[in-house]
Amino acid sequence: MVNTAVKHAAGRRVTVVSLRVGRLRQVVPDTLDFYFGFVARDTVCEGARLEMEVVDAALRCNGCGHEWAIEIPAFRCPACAGSDVAVAAGDEFEVESIEVEETACIAHG
């Protein structure tokens, strides 16, 4: 995660790392935040704030096309009782964007 941010920062100082974390992933936000601080040390991400957007879980039945949201881990289609079900949302664990500091002396373009 830090490596990804460092790569896209291209030497610029990173002030915010924004993540999208799906509810189906086993990510503990407080723990992630805590260890991010350690891993970011001595990189351009040192001191950066971690923002997390939590994405609710949604499923889509490949059999009948029904789409629905889930709050508990129930993966059988409630419409057709099919088991060929895909995760439409909630599986994300991605670095969505970073915020970097641009110094005025660097030409844009």
CB-based contacts of 76, cutoff 8 Å, min separation 6:
82, 83, 85
**Nearest residue (CB) to other proteins, 46 versus 96:** 96
Contact by Cβ (8 Å): 36, 27: no
**Nearest residue (CB) to other proteins, 88 versus 95:** 95
Specify the DSSP class assigned to residue 23: T
Please, which of residues 49-78 interact with other proteins by CB under 8 A? 72-76
Contact by Cβ (8 Å): 97, 76: no
Please, which of residues 19-38 interact with other proteins by CB under 8 A? 19, 24-26
Binding site for other proteins (CB under 8 A): 1, 3-5, 8-9, 15, 19, 24-26, 72-76, 82-83, 85, 93-104
